[in-house]
Amino acid sequence: MESQGLSLFDMILKGGIIMIPIGILSLLSIYVVIERFIYINQAFKIEDNFIPNLRDLLSKGDLKAARAYCQRLNTPIARVVEKGVHRIGKPIKDIESAMESVAGLETDKLERNLSILGLTAGIAPMLGFIGTISGIIKIFYNISVSDNISIGIIAGGLYEKMITSGAGLIVGVIAYTAYHLLNSRIDRFSHKMQNTAIEFVDILES
């Protein structure tokens, strides 16, 4: 006797209506992961000789060229340093404070929409369990109506609703993992931004 396979599409259909919000969360998470990954990777891009070039311009006293150089690069690190260049002539503490404020804004931009991944990581498994509980309730209802406790009624309904639980857990794990990986990248970038700011301040104090 030839056994019938169960395709992924069939499994999704058998999961019932609860698969709709789980599917929406999965698509939304995929979009956020791809969009944030590209944005954060672009933020990391900066010329290797950024600080040396800046040092040369500042040593010549050409603040206008130094600001134009930062604006041309148009990266988060360059925008932080540009704020420092704009404040040259003021006390170092004021320069550092202004750069820290811009760095905070740039970090907020990097973290934008990451809360969606955190929300998905918590909600998707819960939706899956809700689908399973709903399926179990329906199984017992069908048993009470038909007065028939057959393995077909129990197993048939149960495996269909376990699909929602599995889907919810998969989506939740992916979102949770992506959330922490992206946050790790942002932390690394923040350290890089801080190191560049320190190097800039060293130029001013040298």
Sequence ranges of the domains in the chain: 16-205
Q: Are 100 and 107 in contact (CB under 8 A)?
A: no
How confident is the model over 55-70, as pLDDT tens digits?
999 888 889 999 999 9
Claim: this prediction has a pTM higher than 0.85: no
d(CA 107, CA 111) in angstroms, rounded, equals 6
Q: How far is it, in rounded angstroms, from Cα 171 to Cα 30?
A: 10
Round to whole Å and give the CA distance between 10 and 12: 5
Among the ranges given (118-122, 123-127, 133-137), the one the predictor scored with the smallest mean pLDDT:
133-137
Residue type, 155: A
The reported pLDDT for the residue numbered 36 is 93
Separation of alpha carbons 118 and 114, rounded Å: 7
